Amino acid sequence: MHCIHSLLTLLLTSTAVAHRHAHARHMDMHPSSPSDTAAAPSPHPTKYSNYLFRFTTDNPVNTTEILTSLQPYGFNMSHLHSTFSQTMNGFSALMSDHCVGKLKDMVPDGVEIEPVVTMNVRAPASEPTFPIVLKSRQRFLRHRRRSGGHIHHNHGHGHHVRPRGVGFSIATRILDIPALAPSVAPPVSVTASPSPPQDYDILQTDATWGLQRLSQRDSIRGVTPETAVDGQNFHYKFDESAGEGVDIYVIDTGVNVAHTDFGGRAQVKFVAESLKLTEGAEDVAGHGTHCAGTTGSLHFGVAKRANIYAIKTMGKSGGGLSSDIGAGIEYMVKRHQSRRDLPGFRGSVASMSFGLDIDQKDIGNSSIVSTSPMLDGIIMAAAAAGIHMVIAGGNQGIDACRVSPGYLSNKVAPRIGYNASVITVGATDVFDSRADFSNYGECITTYAPGVAVLSTGIGGDNTTQVKQGTSMATPHVAGLVAYLLGLKPELKLDVQGMKRLITSTAGRGFVKNAAVNEGKLLAYNGIDG
């Protein structure tokens, strides 16, 4: 049957079908055998769905040739969404059930087929914003300069980084921009725990609580349940390298790149085709902008000199198709490979605050999992290419090993022959307790601040938002990875080495209300020694 429906009608129909397939049970996402679909098409109207296809045959497959061969059976080349040459030998397309059967006949032992699913952001897509008030007082101070250029671990030994040389000072850059602070309650008295004499370059005195927690070994002292912690009343200590030369890709709802706190370092690099006509390149949800701000904005970010690149694959509702996410990752891998040998390039980091959920009716059944194996393969291929993938653990208060893509922290993808993994992040509050909503378990690589997090917003070039979720914890760690790449460029492509650094540097045993089989690790930049 020929494809006579309008593309818009087909897309709407296929998205509904894809949503019904969003939750795979017991990791069983494999298609039926070729013999099941070899029969002639039904006389009933043809059903169209969005699919991901991966060729597994040992012999090279010419995707264009295969799809051209399907045209006599009704396939329209305009329904091809994306091809995946860098991350997997495959493609995504809107295809009729009859054409799917014919494709299986053409490559009987070498094609995997998976319905496109909808991934969701790991925090509410829209929350109130409040304006920022400009203040003139200086809030970034240069502290005692390191003499040897070391980052310290919990274990007490140092890691050599490049010697300090004559160059652009981040203190100068920061002080060129007026200090910003939200119009919230007056600052509270919050102090860091006692620690040895500090040896760092920059002290930020108007930081968020998450930044302070990331830069000290011990818990934050002086806070009570009545303390307002969603402002800029805290201190952040960091090395002046601050992620310089590192590319952070925020795969999300987009980024408000015009926000003043990005200082011109944020750019839009990819917009999914399905979103170009409906939303354009702008972030209309606010989720991606908030995450991007935590990774590397001037006042709310961890890696304040990193490049920030928006990969817009999620829409205003907070959902995004696995095919669009795969296309965004494919773009990121290609760009990473084109930049990996450039002078001054120190690595690529992906901040991915999205995933699948378990149906509420199935929450109590620990044997039920929700996965997208083909997108998982794309993510792992990006890690194998040397991109540091940081993923939200999920917000259902369940074992993180039950959902994609967070469960990949426990995988090394032996099926396709590479040894790579990802970093999965859970959320804590200012008291170092696991947030009630945060997923947990052995698939959580580390926890990070994820409650009452202040960051950049949409609706203006200086607005902010307060959000919570593992979505908010993830960019803390993505920014931390970028920060550490600035200190240890030898880890540029070593995703396993970076993961070991993150876990060995993290504060151990701090997280309350975590699973008994966890190390209860809390992310830490090692600045205190």
Per-residue model confidence as pLDDT tens digits over 109-118? 789 999 999 9
Whether the per-residue pLDDT at 175 is higher than 70: the answer is no
The pLDDT value recorded for residue 60 is 76
Q: What residues contact 290, with CB distance under 8 A and at least 6 apart?
A: 123, 453, 455, 456, 457, 465, 467, 471, 472
**Residue 510, C-beta contacts closer than 8 angstroms, at least 6 positions apart:** 219, 432, 520, 521, 522
Instruction: Look at residue 197 and give its three-state secondary structure.
Output: coil
- Cis upstream peptide for 405 (omega within 30°): yes
> What letter does residue 473 receive in the DSSP assignment?
H
CA dihedral for 367, 373, 379, 383, sign (positive or negative): positive
111-115 and 48-55: which strand pairing?
Answer: antiparallel
The catalytic residue among 235, 287, 336, 476 is: 287
471 is catalytic: yes
Q: Which two tokens stand for residue 402?
A: 């039950």
CB 330 within 8 A of CB 270: no
> Residue 514 has what pLDDT?
86
CA distance 286 to 457: 6
Q: Which of 199, 206, 230, 252 is flagged as catalytic?
A: 252
Which position has the higher pLDDT, 146 or 168? 146
CA atoms within 13 A on the CB side of 183: 8
Tens-digit pLDDT profile for residues 17-69: 344 344 333 333 333 333 344 444 444 457 899 999 999 887 778 889 999 99
Taken in order 440, 443, 445, 451, is the CA torsion positive or negative?
Answer: negative
- Which has more confidence, 80 or 25? 80
Distance from the first to the final alpha carbon of the chain:
68
404 is catalytic: no
pLDDT at 479 over 70: yes
Over the Cα atoms of the chain, what is R_g? 23
- Please report which confidence band the pLDDT of residue 524 belongs to, taking 50, 70 and 90 as the band edges: very high
**Averaged pLDDT for residues 337-355:** 96
Q: Which of 49, 96, 370, 471 is catalytic?
A: 471
Q: At what angle do helices 495-505 and 470-487 cross, to 10 degrees?
A: 110
**Residue 287 appears among annotated catalytic residues:** yes
- Which residue blocks in 283-363 are alpha helix, DSSP H? 287-296, 322-339
